[in-house]
Chains A and B, each alone.
Chain A
């Protein structure tokens, strides 16, 4: 045996080669590079032709500057932030529930947000006083309140956070219940349906700098505690008993991460509506390609989710140019195909 054998390097002194750090680093760098490329591309894709946009970029006038920097750039930055939040939330949900099929909308957030928005629009319709109120709150605020209320209801129904199975079941019940209420309200007021449509299908078209900034701030708030608690998720991957035997407080970990999950999902849903599959696919994409611990997975899923939603946004603007598809439709198709391929590859391996 020669000392040059890679496995034997660990027998020498020095820090243990604990993970595949450099590979992870290159992977994350590739995500950032993709995001930079997509941001550039998103500036030149829009209602006007590619050549016109390119011309604007190099010889801007007052009107084109507004289109480039006040419409297209905040939209793609906002899409990235929303995707990053969904990717992060998906990775947290999958770690927390120890289930690779968990996703951010699991605990009823999406249905809660939809109900919140419906109620908000209904209120605005009903009276002037309520209109003033809802104008202050905004669709985003209503969606956030709805999402958080749904999670609170889910936790209440499952009587705490200790029983994972109860939590998941309660989430399903709450999601169905709130969707039913939303559907009934929309049936009673059919004209609301049109204003709700872009929200229910998911749309990046309404993102402004305000929205993008809000998403950015929430992303900052969410990333910090998730990274700090990522080793707790590592421990949890060995089982709940093992995690507890290592000195971890399971309720504390669950409650904190559920709060982060709700905040991230509520903010994203409030800004871009119910965009499906990004939160489910982003962590999968990371895990399928590199070996990661949860700290790397959370960062990777956020970067990957951001790039995914940016790409979906770009496709939604370009595919039936000059009209637009709802971005949620694009993510659903692409995400669905990816999951089918994943399943097919898995079954071939077994």
Chain B
């Protein structure tokens, strides 16, 4: 078997028979920080394939730090992260890049065309020195079709609108065809319909393709459409569980240290902003 064939064989699909598989991604006793600051202390969780997990929490609670660590871009102070049961450090760079695709919150300015950006997602498969093969083209086409970015293939990314650009960047992540997707705020700076489109694509990846999707989401209503939540507060992990569990435990109010009012409307959870004077402001902390 070639490297590539192995990578595809190892790719979990919805149809594959489920034996006892290790969690797609797991953290054990993880402590993270940068500089002299410890952001997250001793957190442990498992994330399964085929689910979309949203990481929510106030600014500075360590959402990005956690995602960067899960992607292997930052070394934990303590604890281990395992990708499909094997510690992250034991994977080679290329192997890891095939298993785990990462979307940065802010992707720098590039002169590349949309298709070239998407093509970057294929490098872990084709190698840095060899040229694009037919299967790379096929994967790029699938990713761009899934995100609806195919019509802009030959256009310079800088000439696209914010929503179009985010679809292209998302297609770059999907083109890796990795079993684990990590996305840092994929919906920021987008208008609500575009946020909804991105969320739909992520849900399709998790439920349709059996991918483990983990994303930091700023918008609470949007985050509540995910399968599971990892709720971070300023003092660390508040909880990890289904959306129902999070709501029953009122984890969001704990995390944001203010009353977070969630209402259910036709099976969808919505965050209701408090109007001035409408609710008691006694729970507000500056």
Q: Which residues of A contact B (CB under 8 A)?
A: 7-8, 10-11, 15-20, 98, 228-229, 231-232, 234-235, 237-239, 241-242, 244-249, 287, 291-293, 297
Contact = CB atoms under 8 A, between A and B. Distances in A.
Interface residues of B, number: 43
B285 interface: no
Given A247-B96, A291-B156, A16 B141 contact: yes
A238 B108 contact: yes
Given A18-B115, A246-B97, A292-B111, A232 B128 contact: yes
Interface in B127-162: 128-129, 132, 137, 140-141, 150-154, 156
A242 B184 CA distance: 11
Interface in B221-280: none
B104 A242 contact: yes
Contacts, number: 105
A290 to B, nearest CB: 10
Contact of A231 (B107, B128, B172): B128
Given A18-B116, A19-B115, A228-B129, 9 more contacts: A16-B153, A19-B113, A238-B117, A238-B172, A241-B102, A244-B73, A247-B98, A248-B93, A249-B93
Given A231-B128, A245-B97, A291-B156, A20 B150 contact: no
A104 to B, nearest CB: 19
Contact of B116 (A229, A244, A293): A293
Interface stretch (B16-24, B42-50, B118-126, B199-207): B118-126
B160 to A, nearest CB: 13
Contacts of B94: 247
B104 A247 contact: no
Contacts of B116: 18-19, 234, 293
A345 to B, nearest CB: 16
A238 B104 contact: yes
A241 B65 CA distance: 12
B101 interface: yes
A248 B107 contact: no
Most chain A CB within 10 A, of B107, B110, B132, is at B110
B121 A297 contact: no
A235 B123 contact: yes
Contacts of A98: 108
Given A292-B111, A293-B111, A11 B150 contact: yes
Contacts of A248: 93, 123, 128
B71 interface: yes
A10 B150 contact: yes
A18 B113 contact: yes
